[in-house]
Chains A and B, each alone.
Chain A
Amino acid sequence: MSRDTILILAARSDIAMAVAHRFAKAGYDIQLASRNVENLTDNKSDLELRYDISVSLHEFDAFKIQRHESFLENLPSLPTVVVCAVGYMGNQIESENSIESSSLVMRSNYEGPAIILGLLANKFEQRGSGCLVGISSVAGERGRATNYVYGSAKAGFTAFLSGLRNRLAKKGVHVVTVLPGFVATKMTEGMNLPIKLTAHPARVADAIFKSVINQKNVIYHKPVWILIMLVIRNIPEFLFKKVKL
């Protein structure tokens, strides 16, 4: 019997690697996809040794959307679960002042992840099973002056996932939208984040694993972000535009 397999896109990120550990622990074989994937050789050994599963490495660049189809053709098998951790926060000021910077942020948070998940969705639909997990962000819930370029791209991705879920609901394919708040990762290193609101990547991975098993639609992590975002979404615009968040 072949084992369940999970494909992890942008596998070098901290959340992605934590997801790999969590699913490996549950006995999944793992396909790690990222740029410069040879850098993950040690992680492959580590996962295989710790959990007695198989790991394969696949070169993947979310920007090179023309290659996405051939990337999928070359996978050893169509995975059971896909977790897409593709994303790039960039720097808001730079995004405001440079087309390249803002385009980079928009493409890495929306175009790249949406295209690859769209392709996978078609394959899953054909097969009639599978689970697609997109890691978006609470930043996509409402545009704020401090990071709206990133936030708007994430908002697009969140909407894409919601549409995908709607389309595939009756086709046996499940879609999970993950909305993390602050997470202590490489991306947020050096930022001064409030400890109580900041999640550890391993806890995010636990939440993602549970959401796949229990077929949850949208999850926030930490859960307290449900409340925070409820408030933020409901501040009237005439007030919201004046506050600094």
Chain B
Amino acid sequence: MQNVDAINAGNFEEPKTNYLNNGYTLKSWLLTKDHKRIAIMYLLTISFFFLMGGVYAALIRLELLTPQSDLLESGTYNRVFTQHGIIMVFFFLIPSIPAMLGNFLLPIMIGAKDLAFPRINLLSLYIYWIGAALALFAMMQGGVDTGWTFYTPYSTTFSNGYVMATGLGIFINGFSSILTGLNFIVTIHTMRAPGMTWFRMPLFVWAHYATSLVMILGTPVVAITILLLALERVARIGIFDPAIGGDPILFQHLFWFYSHPAVYIMILPGMGVISELISNFSRKKIFGYEFIAFSSIAIAVFGFLVWGHHMFVSGQSIYAGLVFSFLTMVVAVPSAIKVFNWSATLYKGQISYDTPMLYALFFIGLFLIGGLTGLFLGSIGLTVHLTDTYFIVAHFHYVMVGGQVLAYLGGIHYWWSKMTGKLYSEFWGKISAMLIFVGFNLTFFPQFILGYMGMPRRYASYPAELQVLNIFSTAGASILGIGLILPVIYLTYSVFFGEKASANPYMHPGLEWRTSSPPPTENFEETPIVTWEAYEFGEESGLDLEEARKELAKV
């Protein structure tokens, strides 16, 4: 108990060495086993890919400013949207929250010194780098024009891009996901601090547990699929191409058997971040902890049963289509439960409007629209009209960008002081959050209307009567772009010139706030003993709130 009191009161000695100043050589970074340093290296790489994917997005929106394909000719446009998809999905969204925030926070949140397998964690990073380097190499050589979905027989027989190099990059990158997922699951099972029971874990950890399940069960399937693709393309063994005895629909089944669950890899961790933000900035227990925790697991499980809803018009049996439509409607329920619980958490809270909370509130709004439009697309009679149009483009951007990217940014802002030991400018934080919200809606909302009007996706040119809405969309994208560049500037600035952060600037109860900012290499000077429930803000949390208020008053 002594230990707990000391930590809680915040009067532990700040250690002289933390994970950042524990060695400055390149070698000390590249051969580190520290999950926090690995997370920072992920942050830098992921940010690079996000920027690159963003440049491709900008090219897409500029091309679509006019109905003709004038800025980019259609062959180039096809490569640009393919690269945008591949980079954003495989090299940004999938690793974004798990490999970066998850890596940094998961061990600290459960009171562990590191992940269960620190060397494998470093290996995951190197595998990611190798996969990414291969994909970059393919891009430099001219890239691919298959769309990120690699549908056969186009990808095996007709495309003349660097399909194999890109495929190999994604194949290798998949092992990074598998190892990270495995590492998380073992860590959560075996490394929790004394007193950290399953139902005392932050929901961020529950969400990562569910994500890890999907990663280790789903990713091997995409690896197998790419291998089969390679066999067909190189050795001409008939698997997907009907000309040599294959079945093109089989590829879609295999591809979506991974890629639909992968959608949940791209949103579940975001939901975990939002649960943290909403509860902490309302200074109140999260409403229905168990329901949120188990809805993550339910999403992970049901997520494996709905892949066929990507194939409603592909020629699969109509009865299969009906079953997949039904299951898709079922999987909507756990997502709805989360939204209701987040909203109810705000009731009678003590809500502050810090930048991370703004991101969380915007997330609720955008995820609502993303989720509800998912019902449109799950309803099979409606999706016959909507699939492969801009409606679907708008829908998944609302979920992936409005959901995951906002959660990722909210998380980075929230834990920035923990990661760097510095405070960023709240003013600029709020400005950029609002620019992103406005810019995002202006970019993607018109695309729902375009989609219902029938504008097909992946079109370099389109009928002139659709131009006005496309102009709105491109205008919105430029606002969104500014909103996304601002954090790069003020966050980088804060690292060098920012005010020093205390161990617990928000007085939040999570274990990550009960160690110094930035934390020491071994995370805690002494192993913490957990005596409080999750999201405990009152007396039981042991936080010395009076003291903190006095400190605040002094400043």
Q: Are A and B part of the same complex? A: no
